[in-house]
């Protein structure tokens, strides 16, 4: 099975209706993009319009390997459209509120799976019926962990350990094969001349990284303050990445716990394990109605220094994970930083795709002699369609 073989194979649209008000101070836009992430698109907007990055907000960060549509807002932004090479911005009107994560509840997906044979196509159809009936475990997928690709440490974990210089250096110098050439060049300059801030200033082009280096030139050891000059969406991404990693581990541990009252022996014989960047996803084929009812009621919290556990089992799992990580719950309060902190919340263990529909099954125009399957569905905000795809391929 092949996913995202063509640009149009993965389409994501936010299901949102902005509340417009003629005299609102926030300009609302529809951002449509292909081949770049949301943060990268926002950076490009600031280079094209005289707006500050901190005045731009979005409800979610959309994958770069897809065609996506989402809402963004700009405080006192220009009331006009913008057409870029990889994205375009359509002005919709004014609002009294900026776009935030709670501005939309779900994402709609249109996905084409390619390079299938008849047997694989029939299996996917059968598994889709299982997902409709028994739901899907709500893991975070690999896109969430881009900051640790290439073996880099979690930046949030460095902050927890008060290694502010290491966290900032990681944020400004780590690269992945997916980065654009210009980004890699900037990061290479900073990595090669780390600590020689004047030299970095001379070599770097105009960029957000150069602004931070300029601050370090005048404040050579103020790494925690310099870190908070990073794009706040990016900082949140770093913090959420580590919380999401621990959440995935907690759910995986929960699924593997043989003595858990949530699963019977039959269920454990149907456990599916799928490796990913930071471990493995653990799924089930089917559940009894009792097991499913229990899972549907279960949410796992994100770790902060104030996390209160409603279930002893979840608390025990997290305590063991934190011990393995070499940190304590109280360490999640990052002392010495004013704007950087872990957000509280919890996440449902099981989700159910809405309006799941197979639109078409037919010859694959990109893979001779093979079939393609196109499907549509909606998932709650923050859930990953690629997790559904992994479940279908298991």
Give the CATH number for residue 151.
Answer: 1.10.1510.30
The 10s digit of each residue's pLDDT in 300-318 is 999 999 998 988 889 999 9
Shared-domain flag, residues 99 and 174: no
The pTM of this model reads 0.90
Residue 188: its pLDDT value, please? 95
The total domain count for the chain is 2
Neighbours of 165 (CB within 10 A): 16
- Of 104, 126, 161, which residue sits at a domain end? 104
Q: Are strands 371-380 and 354-363 parallel, antiparallel or unpaired?
A: antiparallel
Range of the domain at 55: 17-104
Classify residue 207: in a domain, yes or no.
Answer: yes
The Cα 320–Cα 253 span in angstroms is 10
Residue 9 lies in a domain: no
Q: 235 phi and psi, to 5 degrees?
A: -60, -45
Last residue of a domain, one of 214, 234, 254: 234
Cα–Cα distance measured from residue 162 to residue 82, given in angstroms and rounded to the nearest whole number: 42
Tell me, yes or no, whether 49 lies in a domain: yes
Residue 301 lies in a domain: no
Q: For residue 125, is it within any domain? A: no
**71, part of any domain:** yes
Grouping H, G, I as helix, E, B as strand and the rest as coil, residue 101 is helix
Q: Is 368 exposed, middle or buried (0-12, 13-18, 19+ CB in 10 A)?
A: exposed
pLDDT for res 294: 87
Shared domain check, 225 and 158: yes
Q: Closest Cα to residue 182, out of 22, 78, 44?
A: 44
The pLDDT-based confidence of 39 (bands split at 50, 70, 90) is confident
Q: Give the confidence band of 266 by pLDDT, cuts at 50, 70, 90.
A: low
Whether 180 is in a domain gets the answer yes
Hey, which of 279-293, 335-349, 377-391 has the most confident mean pLDDT? Answer: 377-391
Mean pLDDT of 57-84: 92
* pLDDT at residue 157, as a whole number: 95
Of 234, 266, 292, which residue is a domain's last? 234
Q: What is the mean pLDDT of the chain?
A: 91
What confidence score (pLDDT) does residue 194 get?
A: 97
Q: Do the domain assignments include residue 378?
A: no
Same structural domain, 96 and 41 = yes
Average pLDDT value for residue range 87-107:
94
Same domain, 165 and 230: yes
How many C-beta neighbours within 10 Å does residue 22 have?
Answer: 7
Q: Which helix (H) or strand (E) holds 68?
A: strand 67-75
């Amino acid at each position: 099975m092949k996913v995202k073989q063509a640009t149009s194979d993965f389409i994501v649209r936010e299901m949102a209706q902005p509340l417009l008000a003629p005299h609102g101070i926030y300009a609302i836009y529809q951002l449509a993009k292909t081949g770049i992430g949301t943060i990268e698109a926002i950076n490009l907007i600031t280079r094209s319009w005289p707006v500050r990055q901190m005045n731009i907000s979005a409800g979610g960060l959309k994958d770069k390997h897809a065609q996506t549509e989402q809402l963004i807002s700009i405080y006192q932004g220009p009331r006009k459209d913008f057409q870029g090479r990889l994205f375009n911005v359509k002005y919709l009107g004014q609002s009294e509120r900026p776009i935030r994560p709670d501005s939309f509840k779900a994402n709609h997906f249109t996905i084409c799976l390619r390079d299938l044979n008849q047997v694989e196509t029939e299996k996917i159809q059968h598994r889709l019926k299982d997902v409709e009936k028994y739901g899907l475990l709500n893991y975070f997928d690999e896109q969430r962990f881009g900051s640790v690709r290439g073996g880099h440490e979690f930046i949030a974990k460095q902050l927890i350990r008060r290694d502010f210089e290491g966290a900032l250096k990681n944020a400004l110098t780590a690269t992945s094969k997916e980065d654009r050439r210009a980004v890699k060049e900037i990061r290479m300059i900073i990595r090669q001349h780390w600590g020689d801030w004047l030299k970095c200033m001379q070599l770097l082009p105009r960029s957000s990284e150069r602004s931070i280096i300029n601050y370090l030139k005048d404040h050579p050891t103020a790494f925690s303050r310099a870190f908070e000059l990073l794009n706040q969406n990016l900082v949140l991404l770093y913090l959420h990445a580590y919380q999401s990693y621990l959440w995935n581990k907690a759910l995986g541990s929960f699924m593997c716990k043989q003595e858990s009252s949530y699963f019977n022996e039959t269920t454990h014989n149907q456990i599916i394990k799928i490796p990913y960047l930071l471990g493995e996803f653990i799924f089930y084929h089917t559940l009894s109605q009792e097991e499913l009812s229990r899972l549907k009621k279960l949410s796992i919290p994100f770790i902060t220094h104030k996390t209160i556990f409603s279930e002893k089992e979840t608390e025990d799992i997290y305590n063991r994970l934190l011990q393995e990580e070499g940190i304590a719950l109280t360490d999640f309060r990052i002392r010495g930083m004013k704007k950087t902190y872990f957000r509280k919340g919890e996440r449902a263990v099981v989700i159910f795709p809405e309006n799941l529909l197979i639109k078409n099954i037919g010859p694959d125009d990109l893979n001779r002699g093979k079939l393609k399957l196109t499907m549509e569905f909606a998932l709650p905000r923050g859930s990953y369609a690629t997790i559904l795809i992994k479940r279908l391929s298991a």
